[in-house]
Structure 1
Amino acid sequence: MAKYIARRLAYSVIVLFVTSLVVFGLSRAAGDPRHIFLTEYTSQEDWDLWGEEYGLDKPFIVQYGIWVGNALRGDFGTSLRDHVNARLVIQERIPATLQLTVGSFVIAIVVGLPLGVMSAIKRGTIFDYVGRSWALLGQALPPYWLGVMMVLLFAVMLNWLPSGRKGDWTHYVLPAVTLGWGAASGMLRLTRSAMLEVLDSEYIKLARAKGVGNNWIIWKHALKNAIIAPLTFSGLLLGGLMTGTVITETVFSWPGLGRLAVQAVYNNDFPVLTGVVLLVTVIYLSVNLLTDVLYALVDPRIRLN
Structure 2
Amino acid sequence: MNWYLFRLGRACITILLLLTFAFFALAASGDPAQILLGPDTSQAAIDVFREKWGLNLPLWQQFLIYLDGLLHMNFGLSYRSGESALALVLDRIPVTLSLVLPTILLSIALGVPLGILSAMHRGHLIDRLAITLSVVGLSVPSFLLGVLAMYLFSVKLGWLAPSGYVDWTSYIMPVATLSTVGIATYARFTRSAMVEVLSRPMIETARASGLSEGIIHRAHALPNALTPLITITALEFGHFVTYAAVVENVFGWQGTGALLIESVSARDFAVVQAIMIITGVTMILANLLADLSYGFIDPRIADLRHRSSRRLRTACES
* TM-score between the two structures when normalised by the length of structure 1: 0.93
Alignment of 1:1-305 (within 5 A): 2-38=1-37, 40-42=40-42, 44=44, 47-297=46-296, 298=298, 299-300=301-302, 301-302=304-305, 304-305=307-308
The offset of 1:288, in angstroms, is 0.7
CA contact (8 A) 1:232 1:295 kept: no
> 1:270 & 1:89 partners in 2: Cα distance?
13
Give a deviation string over 1:102-153, Cα, whole Å, max 9, x none. 0111111101111111221222332222222211211111111111111111
Answer with 266-275 or 66-75: which moved more.
66-75
> 1:37 & 1:192 partners in 2: Cα distance?
50
Which amino acid in structure 1 is aligned with residue 100 of structure 2?
A: T
1:186–1:302 CA distance, 2 compared to 1 (3 A): farther
Answer with 280-289 or 237-246: which moved more.
237-246
> 1:304 & 1:249 partners in 2: Cα distance?
47
> 2:276 & 2:164 partners in 1: Cα distance?
23
Unpaired segments ≥5 residues, structure 2: 309-318
Which amino acid in structure 1 is aligned with residue 119 of structure 2?
A: A
The offset of 1:295, in angstroms, is 2.5
Which amino acid in structure 2 is aligned with residue 270 of structure 1?
A: F
Unpaired segments ≥5 residues, structure 1: none
> 2:78 & 2:252 partners in 1: Cα distance?
21
Aligned-partner SS, 2:163: coil
Answer with 105-114 or 204-213: which moved more.
204-213
1:302–1:195 CA distance, 2 compared to 1 (3 A): farther
Aligned-partner SS, 1:245: helix
CA contact (8 A) 1:109 1:184 kept: yes
> 1:262 & 1:68 partners in 2: Cα distance?
25
The offset of 1:261, in angstroms, is 0.9
Q: CA RMSD in A?
A: 1.9
1:303–1:131 CA distance, 2 compared to 1 (3 A): farther
Aligned-partner SS, 2:20: helix
Give a deviation string over 1:217-241, Cα, whole Å, max 9, x none. 1101111111122222122112321
Identity %: 32
CA contact (8 A) 1:295 1:302 kept: no
CA contact (8 A) 2:112 2:187 kept: yes
